[in-house]
Structure 1
Amino acid sequence: MSKETPAPAEADVLHRLSFLDRFLPVWIGVAMVAGLMLGRFVPGLQGVLEAVKIGEVSLPIALGLLLMMYPVLAKVRYDKLDTVTRDTTTLLLSLVLNWILGPALMFALAWAFLPDLPEYRTGLIIVGLARCIAMVIIWNDLACGDREAAAVLVALNSVFQVVMFGVLGWFYLDLLPGWLGLDTTAVQFSAWEIAGSVLVFLGIPLLAGYLSRRIGERSRGRDWYERRFLPVIGPVALYGLLFTIVILFALQGETITSQPLDVARIAVPLLLYFVVMWGGSYALGKASGLSYERTTTLAFTAAGNNFELAIAVAIGVFGVTSGQALAGVVGPLIEVPVLVGLVYVSLWLRRRWRARTGV
């Protein structure tokens, strides 16, 4: 699963990102401000949004969430799933990091930093359960990771989330806190609600993404699908995300402006999570004898999170005005600049790695 990728100059990393991806934290910040202004000057917005609902989610927000997820899942190379057994070391390490250590670390950080803020704490734990399936491809390519290995791990995570997200949600939000004697009475939820939200907001776009790739590649070929079709639908995910953020901040404006330090408290454990997961995964891959390319892929697939799904689940289960939804939105605001910085770190390590090995 290893292919050599030409190394980009460190100064060119940001320029290799698309214009939308390069300034994603800026767009999120603008959407937050726009939402706050909308909530201030358009009274009765919540009543308008909730006029038509799908379950407990208003129709406009539900459509925004589905549009946010579809382009992400249309990028996944599902045909790579049959190659996962070729590299058992990378596969097993990825499964352990993504589905055991990652959620456990976020659980620990959420309880350590937000013991008195149960809604935000729950939102962070949900972020920790949503394993990365989209932006990781970008970070991996920029850092000269193994593109084929990334495709395999992303495809695996996409399918695995449908099965495991609800189970792990029940374990980390209900069962484990009970075993540890932690008080969770401030947040009431049903594990079935989590599973239902995952089925709707991941299952539907997952099926649509799979069919898009299968039909598109059969009719026009992979080159057309990835060079023509994906660039056209790609920005839709960002538009769906920004729409959701605008609405969320419009409805939560009073809470946010009255408690700005709470947002900062959400950011701290997120920052630690991304750095610890990336650094630990990188060290583990190197210690296991993986090549630079596979070690890099392992690190980025373990550190990144599917914040689109985390936001969708938080809104679907707890509502758009919930603290859980706000915590999900803070996720990409912290993740994007941190992982861009880690791309530079990875490229620096690549030079040292090659200097030592002569490869």
Structure 2
Amino acid sequence: MGLFERWLTLWVAICILAGLALGAAVPGLFRVLAGMEYASVNLVVAVLIWAMVYPMMIAVDLASLKEVGRRPRGLVVTLVINWLVKPFTMAGLAVLFLGHLFAGLIDPEQAQAYIAGLILLGAAPCTAMVFVWSQLTRGDPNYTLVQVSVNDLIMVVAFAPIVALLLGVTELSVPWATLILSVILYIVIPLIAGALTRRALIARGIPVETFTARIKPVSVLGLLLTVVLLFGFQGPVILAQPLLIGLIAVPIVIQSYGIFALGYGWAWLWRLPHRVAAPCALIGTSNFFELAVAVAIGLFGIHSGAALATVVGVLVEVPVMLSLVAFANRTRDRFPA
């Protein structure tokens, strides 16, 4: 394990502080970087996520993808949690905390906007970062790819009805540009690049594992720079309203650990191998924040409480997910080899 990975939590903490400091010191630079987006997908962050996803895509053996269908239990865990559990538990926790327990600390009208943002977050399972979490837990790259791909196919038909049901809206316009662009950027392009790289390595007799180990520091660096950017983009908001950000984060954190415990525990009871179990639980825990942010802006406006709540989800995700990655790695021996 390299220096970056051994002290990854420390580096992330430093990057969070660096992002907040830089966001306050040079806000103009971060406004320019934040403006470099298309369909609510920030292109600078997209490049960094691509750098994180690419090494895992090299490990995907396209010829072996058909074998995943013979082990359907991991897919069952992922899909049941993502679509039958997660959106509804997030809605319940949002109403409980922001609508009731924190009622004296949050304006009631704004509380409804924050609840709407958290509902959008809970109904949008992850497309990109889950490849990073899977790689950090040494997950099965073939299985992770299939899980994410099936998830995205279901998202096309299930996201809008679930959000419409939970928000009580009659007309919901799904931002197809965001959905399609994210799939192309985070799955299609890295997969093609990974397949071409894998073919070239095999043709030259270079072990795939050796090459991916060599470029792994680039992947970790991409993660750290992403953290700096995300916190730099939102630094002024965090520093101006730290209590509000903390209150919105409470149900998100509880939801994240609860969903992970459910998925990981279910995978353990079913005796799934750790290479499948860890990504199963992490996919359900992580969120497709670009989609959630885009829908929040489209429905409620860029300066709305709903948009702010989805952004808090983005900020909470990396530290929480890294703690879950660490837990999954520590409990690897509890699962079948």
Length-normalised TM-score, structure 1: 0.69
Q: CA deviation at 1:175?
A: 3.1
C-alpha contact (below 8 Å) 1:109/1:269 kept by paired residues: yes
Residue 198 of structure 2 corresponds to residue 208 of structure 1: no
C-alpha contact (below 8 Å) 1:37/1:250 kept by paired residues: yes
Question: 1:95 corresponds to which residue?
Answer: 79
Match of 1:32 among 16, 28, 33: 16
For the residue of structure 1 that corresponds to 2:251, the secondary structure is helix
Q: CA deviation at 1:121?
A: 1.5
Task: Sort the Cα spacing of 1:268 and 1:67 in 2 relative to 1 into closer, same or farther, 3 A.
Answer: same
Match of 2:161 among 171, 174, 192: 171
Residue 330 of structure 2 corresponds to residue 344 of structure 1: yes
Q: In structure 1, what is the Cα distance between the partners aligned to 2:284 and 2:220?
A: 13
C-alpha contact (below 8 Å) 1:165/1:198 kept by paired residues: no
Q: CA deviation at 1:157?
A: 1.7
Match of 2:200 among 195, 198, 219: 219
C-alpha contact (below 8 Å) 1:162/1:203 kept by paired residues: no
Residue 150 of structure 2 corresponds to residue 160 of structure 1: yes
One-letter identity of the residue aligned with 1:210: L
Q: In structure 1, what is the Cα distance between the partners aligned to 2:264 and 2:35?
A: 49
Task: Sort the Cα spacing of 1:242 and 1:283 in 2 relative to 1 into closer, same or farther, 3 A.
Answer: closer
Question: 1:82 corresponds to which residue?
Answer: 66
CA distances 1:267-289 after superposition (whole Å, capped 9, x unpaired): 443443344334434543455xx
Match of 1:190 among 164, 169, 173: 173
The worse-fitting range, judged by mean Cα deviation, of 263-272 and 246-255 is: 263-272
Q: CA deviation at 1:124?
A: 3.7
Match of 1:333 among 316, 319, 322: 319
Task: Sort the Cα spacing of 1:153 and 1:107 in 2 relative to 1 into closer, same or farther, 3 A.
Answer: farther
> Identity rate of aligned residues, in percent?
22
CA distances 1:95-117 after superposition (whole Å, capped 9, x unpaired): 32344334443444344334422
One-letter identity of the residue aligned with 2:283: N
Q: In structure 2, what is the Cα distance between the partners aligned to 1:129 and 1:53?
A: 19
CA RMSD of aligned residues (A): 3.9
One-letter identity of the residue aligned with 1:305: I
Q: CA deviation at 1:82?
A: 0.4
For the residue of structure 2 that corresponds to 1:224, the secondary structure is coil
Match of 2:131 among 130, 133, 140: 133
C-alpha contact (below 8 Å) 1:282/1:298 kept by paired residues: no
Q: In structure 2, what is the Cα distance between the partners aligned to 1:26 and 1:97?
A: 31
Question: 1:310 corresponds to which residue?
Answer: 288
Q: CA deviation at 1:333?
A: 0.5
Task: Sort the Cα spacing of 1:341 and 1:196 in 2 relative to 1 into closer, same or farther, 3 A.
Answer: same
Residue 279 of structure 2 corresponds to residue 301 of structure 1: yes
The worse-fitting range, judged by mean Cα deviation, of 323-332 and 67-76 is: 67-76
CA distances 1:144-194 after superposition (whole Å, capped 9, x unpaired): xxx6xx34431212322432334443233333332xxxxx79xx9731x2x
Q: In structure 1, what is the Cα distance between the partners aligned to 2:41 and 2:260?
A: 34
Q: In structure 2, what is the Cα distance between the partners aligned to 1:317 and 1:128?
A: 14
Q: In structure 2, what is the Cα distance between the partners aligned to 1:50 and 1:268?
A: 26
One-letter identity of the residue aligned with 1:221: I
For the residue of structure 1 that corresponds to 2:131, the secondary structure is coil
CA distances 1:283-308 after superposition (whole Å, capped 9, x unpaired): 43455xx43xx164554233213888
Q: CA deviation at 1:221?
A: 1.6
One-letter identity of the residue aligned with 2:131: I
Task: Sort the Cα spacing of 1:196 and 1:42 in 2 relative to 1 into closer, same or farther, 3 A.
Answer: same
Q: How many pairs are equivalent?
A: 314
Length-normalised TM-score, structure 2: 0.73
Match of 1:49 among 16, 25, 33: 33
Gaps of 5+ in 1: 1-15, 142-146, 179-183, 354-358
CA distances 1:58-93 after superposition (whole Å, capped 9, x unpaired): 654454454454445444444332012323444434
Task: Sort the Cα spacing of 1:302 and 1:91 in 2 relative to 1 into closer, same or farther, 3 A.
Answer: closer
For the residue of structure 1 that corresponds to 2:288, the secondary structure is helix
C-alpha contact (below 8 Å) 1:127/1:305 kept by paired residues: no
Q: CA deviation at 1:94?
A: 4.1
Q: CA deviation at 1:263?
A: 3.8
Residue 3 of structure 2 corresponds to residue 19 of structure 1: yes
Match of 1:251 among 208, 233, 256: 233
For the residue of structure 2 that corresponds to 1:134, the secondary structure is helix
Q: In structure 2, what is the Cα distance between the partners aligned to 1:21 and 1:234?
A: 10
Task: Sort the Cα spacing of 1:112 and 1:249 in 2 relative to 1 into closer, same or farther, 3 A.
Answer: same
Q: In structure 2, what is the Cα distance between the partners aligned to 1:198 and 1:225?
A: 35
